């Protein structure tokens, strides 16, 4: 069914009932988009529906591109924040702008699906900007000389995070489904948001550290950088299980066709 040919009223009423078919390796039929871990994404989709309906004349790519300046503004505040009330306000602003960038990142896909404007270019652009902002945010925190300042460690954390995310997007490109195992981007963004709020409170109180370990200040910023690096290693290992022999270049009965309609997934054939 081509959504673009439906009357607007019909399209708005039935757009969430349209099915999606994907090809997945056996044993991975019920991935994250069919499980309880996806409830947060489904909740955001439901909450954003009124806004999506008002934005039907907007190109989804416009929202995708808006994530970049929003994310860069957040990164500048992360890197520039110091102690005191000004630093607290900058960390708070960084957290809010990062949340806005994440909201735009989710909204563009919902808008594309609702208006029948899903394209390979849009998916590529979305994932590319995600990876760019992931690295920039981690580096911005690492380049903050007041709260961290160990640039080399920030680069290590950024590269480990990127490798884990890269394997996830590659799995999606070749298998038609995303492996959300490991330490996901959503997990990292939630913890980063909490870390920024924690740093804002500490800055307001005039405290920038709980102590030192090997010349590294122990505070919310150093902790989230450490978590991001370790999470990147863990995610890399989890995604590494998607081996070359699993790639669907030849169908030998080890793959399934999965029908997803709403929140329900059903295996309809083996290939």
> What does the alpha-carbon distance between residue 116 and residue 2 come to, in Å, rounded to a whole number?
8
Contacts 24+ apart (CB under 8 A), 138-144: 138/225, 138/228, 139/75, 140/74, 140/75, 140/76, 140/78, 140/79, 141/78, 141/79, 141/221, 141/224, 141/225, 142/225, 143/79, 144/78, 144/79, 144/80, 144/81, 144/221
Task: Give the total residue count for the chain.
Answer: 271
Q: Is 38 helix (H, G, I), strand (E, B) or coil?
A: helix
Q: Which of 105, 108, 126, 130 is catalytic?
A: 130
* Chain-centroid distance, C-alpha 27: 24
> What does the alpha-carbon distance between residue 48 and residue 221 come to, in Å, rounded to a whole number?
31
Q: Is 130 a known active-site residue?
A: yes
Minimal CA–CA distance to 212: which of 141, 123, 150, 143? 150
What number of other Cβ atoms are within 10 A of residue 219's Cβ?
21
Q: Is 62 left (phi over 0), alpha (psi -120 to 50) or beta?
A: alpha
Angle between helical axes of 220-240 and 120-142 (0-180°, round to 10):
140
DSSP per-residue letters across 199-225: HHHHHHTT---S-EETTEE-SHHHHHH
User: Mind telling me the catalytic residues?
Assistant: 130
């Amino acid at each position: 069914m081509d959504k673009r040919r439906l009357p607007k009223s019909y399209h708005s009423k039935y757009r969430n009932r349209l099915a999606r078919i994907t090809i997945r390796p056996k044993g991975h039929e019920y991935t994250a988009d069919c499980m309880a871990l996806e409830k947060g994404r489904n909740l955001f989709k439901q909450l954003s529906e009124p806004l999506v309906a008002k934005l039907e004349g907007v190109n989804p790519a416009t929202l995708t591109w808006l994530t970049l300046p929003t994310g860069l503004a957040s990164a500048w505040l992360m890197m520039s924040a110091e102690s005191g009330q000004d630093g607290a306000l900058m960390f708070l602003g960084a957290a809010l702008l990062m949340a806005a960038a994440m909201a735009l990142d989710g909204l563009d896909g919902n808008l594309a699906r609702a208006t029948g404007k899903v394209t390979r270019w849009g998916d590529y652009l979305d994932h590319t900007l995600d990876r760019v902002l992931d690295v920039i945010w981690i580096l911005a925190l690492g380049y903050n000389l007041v709260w961290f300042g160990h640039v080399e460690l920030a680069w290590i954390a950024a590269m480990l995070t990127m490798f884990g995310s890269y394997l996830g997007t590659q799995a999606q490109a070749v298998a038609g489904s995303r492996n959300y195992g490991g330490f996901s981007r959503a997990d990292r963004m939630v913890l980063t948001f909490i870390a920024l709020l924690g740093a804002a409170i500490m800055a307001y109180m005039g405290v920038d550290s709980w102590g030192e370990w090997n010349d590294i200040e122990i505070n919310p910023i150093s902790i989230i950088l450490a978590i991001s690096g370790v999470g990147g290693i863990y995610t890399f290992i989890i995604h590494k299980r998607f081996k070359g022999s699993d790639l669907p270049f030849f169908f030998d009965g080890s793959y399934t066709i999965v029908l997803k309609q709403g929140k329900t997934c059903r295996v309809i054939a083996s290939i």
